[in-house]
Structure 1
Amino acid sequence: MLRPPLYLTPPSTEPIRAEMRAGRLGAIITPAQGNRIPAEGMVGIDNGVFTGKYPGRKKFLEWLRKLRDKFDVEKRCLFVAAPDVVGNAYETELLARPMLEEIRKLGFPAGLVAQDHMELSAWDPWDEADCLFVGGSTAWKLSPAAANICRVASSLWKHIHVGRVNSLFRYRHAAHLMDADSVDGTYLTKAPNKNLPKVLSWRKKVFTSSAFFGHRLLTSDPWDGGYVLAPPREATQLDLFATLT
């Protein structure tokens, strides 16, 4: 069933917190953010890597231990994003894999942050992660490769979260092509009360236009250019030999 993704944002103002209590918004929390967890509503927990404020493995786990006593994790927590390396799926795998288990041991749902070229990895993470958090470069995030990974994770009943959603176009893309259950962005961190009605309107508009189906949704963001893999290597003598045998 098609449904609008839950938009997560810092619980910075009373009108925003009121929407969280009503279930129309959710909260996203990071170690360095400073905002308290609202009394009601769903919560996603990011690691702070993208903003350069990840505190490190030990401090991050200590923070989570303290955090789990402040709200009902089982009923309200959507994910805790394991540490990642922006734009690099392979380094993310090395960093995140042991942390996914640690996060689960604390009682939180563990989120794997998807990064560029994850589609080429041999790792099958679905028994180790409860949520797929789509990060990566803008071009990769909007690529068919990322959308396909999301649909695979969704078919396995994993929670799908998409980061950096700051427009109706991105919101529709996440909903239609990525099966997103939730998204987040910085749109409400600037003039939050002014922009709040716009974000809430996305929920109603997300499925109202057929113009957003099809090829337009599969094109890369014009600011980042296309998502291009490394060019094919030149043929070597060994390659030529292989074609003759």
Structure 2
Amino acid sequence: MTKDYQDSKSCRQEVMYTKDSLKKRFIPIYVKRDFVASGWLGVRIVGPQYLRFGKKPFEETVKDLVKLIFDDKSEKSSKHKVAKVPVTVPLVEIKPDENDKPNEESPKDNYDDSNQSSHELLPLLVPNPKPIEKWNSKDIADWFDANKVRCELKEMYDFQCGTELLLYGQCLRPEWQSEYFDVREQFLKQYSTVLYRNEFVRLVNVINQLEQLQTKPVSSTCGILLLLWFIFVLLNTFKMF
């Protein structure tokens, strides 16, 4: 991990392919003493396990790397012995845990929802009629604002296109709660304030609804209208001959 790698065009694609498509965990390796991943990259690699060359002798750091790899393999093999039930994102009320605080303790800004229940899942608002895959960074920013997602999350994720947003939604499906703990840790480091569960749940909920909207089949009424329009065009075409 270096500043040049974080700024490169291939960085985001490689990270998302590894974590979201392959569902693989990777160990961040820093090759410079003063660099720390930030922004969207910091969110994706947050965790207790990483290596930084330069602090200790090279041979010792390599041994630590080998140990981490073998420890990770042992952990995975033990997990496979236990049946794991997949967790889907529920579109129902989610009860808070002890870490949740009233909204009045968080900074007041445009995401304040003091007049609503802190656990209420809001209906999805899509301010842009374009297909989600064709959204750009501004479209995504407008979508964040319309659905009252914390502006810090918008800044931290920095999605550049709709496809990235949808891929992240796929990543959230099986283990959104563990993702919350990772994001909360990075959020605290970056903004020196707590990201409460209900605030993250709002993001999870609207992304989940956005995915459903993207895959929603055409209604029977729309299908009939499209068929009538096609017949009308076809008849007009025959009249020309």
* Structure 1 and Structure 2 fold alike (TM over 0.5): no
Question: TM tier, shorter chain?
Answer: under 0.3
- Which structure shows the bigger proportion of residues in strand conformation? 1
- Which structure shows the bigger proportion of residues in helix conformation? 2
TM-score, length-normalised on structure 2?
0.23
TM-score, length-normalised on structure 1?
0.23
Q: Could you say which structure has the greater relative contact order, defined with CA pairs below 8 angstroms and 6 or more residues apart?
A: 2
